[in-house]
Amino acid sequence: MANIEWSDGAPIYRQLKERVIAMMLDGVLKPGDALPSVRQVAADYQLNPITVSRAYQELADEALVEKRRGLGMFVTEEASKKLRSSERERFLTDEWPQVVERIERLGLSTRDLLQSIGNGANE
C-alpha cells in the first residue's frame, strides 16, 4: 500500500478499508491476490493490529476477501464486480445529486461539460 494520509473525519479502520477497496477498483489488488498481513500493515502505518483486523473483517463480511487458514486474506473472484456495482450505485445516489446541484448553481451547460471532458482527454 502506498503512503496513506489519515483524516480526522472517519475512523481509521474505515479509511483503511476504503483504501483497500480503491486498490481493488484500480486493479492494484486483483482476484486471488493476498492482502498484506495484519502485522505488516500495523507496523508499516503504526496502527493497532486490532484496527487493521477490523478493516479486514469488514471486507470479509462483504465477501470481498476470504481468509485462507494459515495463509492470510485473499481478494475474492467476485470482488471487482461487486465493488463496481455498489460503487456505481453509491455514486449515483450519494455523489451525483450534489454534482448536478453544483452544475446548475454554476450555470454550466452540457456543452461546457463535454468541452471540458474533451480538453481533459487531450492533456
- Per the structure block, which three cell numbers stand in for 28? 492494484
Cα separation, 89 vs 102, whole angstroms: 20
Q: What is the pLDDT of residues 85-102, one digit of tens each?
A: 888 998 999 999 999 999
pLDDT at 120 > cutoff 70: no
Cα separation, 43 vs 57, whole angstroms: 18
- Per the structure block, which three cell numbers stand in for 75? 481478494
Q: What is the pLDDT of residues 26-71, one digit of tens each?
A: 999 999 999 999 999 999 999 999 999 999 999 999 999 999 999 9
What domains lie within the chain, and their CATH numbers? Answer: 12-77 (1.10.10.10), 80-122 (no CATH)
Cα separation, 101 vs 42, whole angstroms: 40
Phi, psi of 109 (to 5 degrees): -95, 165
